Amino acid sequence: MSQSKTPFDVGLLRADFPILDREIGTAKLIYLDSAATAQKPTVVIEAMNDFYRLSNANIHRGVHTLAEEATAMYEKGREQVANFINAASAREVIFTRNTTESINLVAHTWARANLNAGDVILLTEMEHHSNLVPWQILAAERGVRLEFVPVTEDYLFDMDAYGELLKLEPKLVAFTQMSNVLGTITPAKEIIKLAHDAGAIALVDAAQSVPHLPVDVQALDADFLAFSAHKMLGPSGIGALYGKMDLLKAMPPFLGGGDMIKTVHLRSFVANQVPYKFEAGTPAIAEAIGFGAAAEYLQNIGMNALMAHEHELTKYALERLEEIPSIKVFGPSAENKGGVASFTMEGIHPHDIAQILDGEGIAVRAGHHCAQPLHEKIGIPATTRASFYLYNTKEEIDALVAGIYKVKEIFG
């Protein structure tokens, strides 16, 4: 997929992110909330600014110079994103608003065209609401049956239970490749193969994995894969759905309107070709350009080098956090997780922890992280989550630990 063109140097990389020079109060920003959204390098910001400054026009509809430039830049973004995940064709990448819309697109098109009452969809207990609620809506509407692969006591995907559930002959297996709470990395390739062996289609929620791991959709043999730009250094308001071409061709359109049609009559229409039949109306043009720039930036760094850096950070963070009395960290060992550390502290609410850390310039997340059923499973209402990315350092983790000790001091 992507190999590093230069040695991984976090100090040099940090210079690419203007926001990291910001101070919060009197403290320099320490950003540990990349699982919610990642910061943006200058190359992404400039790519979008250059479009607006020099080439702003609508796409696919004009023959003047600006329209042709805008169209070429938009489609280059699609090609860069397709190359990043190793899609066989750029046409297999559909631009959406985010991971959530990508999953909803599958639920509203493929699922409603192919699933009937009594058909089984397999999900997991660690899913983000984006990969739960669309299927719950479908179950209420169509009577499909939802079943859930449990999380083991050591916070892993339960392969034994999965094998048993596959005997139900599900039509769809939809699962996260990396939990946004636990950091658990699921064995996606094996899950997909077993799903196919059982006659099911496989959808991967890759919102957390694509920004942090080498993801090759052809090697995985994924049928659908959903992810967002804003978690991988790109802009908000745009995401992508990868789908195998034969599936996309057979699916009905998602939204009706301009650009998703070939011809329109008063009482009928003919849909456009893939991917345009799923991209109704004027799209997020500048965002697609920024999305492509982010993908190219990460590819130039090299995802294997990035993953190794994050693994080192995560291992160090878990070791440091476990030194703190009365703290409980949720998730598997560093070998089985991405750059996420969700924790609780006895007698202290996660929001209080996050607020005190913010006073030290440290940005973390607090709450249920759009994964309420998972929090119910582990018996807590909320966690504090620190998440790491390519621009974070061990010194920042040391500052996090010092901040947590300050929380303990304040609460006695």
Q: Give the domains, in start order, of the chain with CATH numbers.
A: 10-31+302-410 (3.90.1150.10), 45-300 (3.40.640.10)
Q: In the prediction, which pLDDT does 3 show? A: 47
Distances in whole angstroms, Cα of residue 399 to Cα of each of 210, 217, 349: 28, 37, 20
User: Using CA atoms, how far apart are residues 375 and 342, in angstroms rounded to an integer?
Assistant: 11
Q: In the prediction, which pLDDT does 8 show? A: 85
Q: In the prediction, which pLDDT does 11 show? A: 93
Q: In the prediction, which pLDDT does 356 show? A: 96
Q: In the prediction, which pLDDT does 131 show? A: 98
Q: In the prediction, which pLDDT does 4 show? A: 46
Would you say 204 and 187 are in contact if contact means Cβ atoms under 8 Å apart?
no
Would you say 247 and 224 are in contact if contact means Cβ atoms under 8 Å apart?
yes
Q: In the prediction, which pLDDT does 389 show? A: 98
User: Using CA atoms, how far apart are residues 233 and 390, in angstroms rounded to an integer?
Assistant: 10
User: Using CA atoms, how far apart are residues 114 and 119, in angstroms rounded to an integer?
Assistant: 10
Distances in whole angstroms, Cα of residue 23 to Cα of each of 13, 29, 59, 113, 208: 19, 5, 39, 52, 27
The tens place of each residue's pLDDT in the chain, 412 residues long, gives 444 445 689 999 999 999 999 999 999 999 999 999 999 999 999 999 999 999 999 999 788 999 999 999 999 999 999 999 999 999 999 999 999 999 999 999 999 999 999 999 999 999 999 999 999 999 999 999 999 999 999 999 999 999 999 999 999 999 999 999 999 999 999 999 999 999 999 999 999 999 999 999 999 999 999 999 999 999 999 999 999 999 999 999 999 999 999 999 999 999 999 999 999 999 999 999 999 999 999 999 999 999 999 999 999 999 999 999 999 999 999 999 999 999 999 999 999 999 999 999 999 999 888 889 889 888 888 999 999 999 999 999 999 999 999 999 999 7
Beta-carbon neighbour count of residue 175 at 10 Å? Answer: 22
Torsional class of 79: left (φ above 0), alpha (ψ -120 to 50), beta (otherwise):
alpha
Q: In the prediction, which pLDDT does 61 show? A: 78
pTM for the model stands at 0.96
Catalytic residue among 29, 159, 370, 401: 370
In the chain, the percentage of residues whose pLDDT exceeds 90 is 93
Report helix, strand or coil for 265: strand
Give me the torsion for CA of 41, 238, 61, 248, rounded to 10°. 130
Give the pair of three-digit tokens for residue 145.
């049956």
Is 370 annotated in the active site?
yes
Taking the CA atoms of 183, 184, 190 and 195 in sequence, report the sign of the dihedral they define.
Answer: negative
Q: In the prediction, which pLDDT does 343 show? A: 96
Phi/psi at 346 (5° precision):
-60, 125
User: Using CA atoms, how far apart are residues 312 and 227, in angstroms rounded to an integer?
Assistant: 24
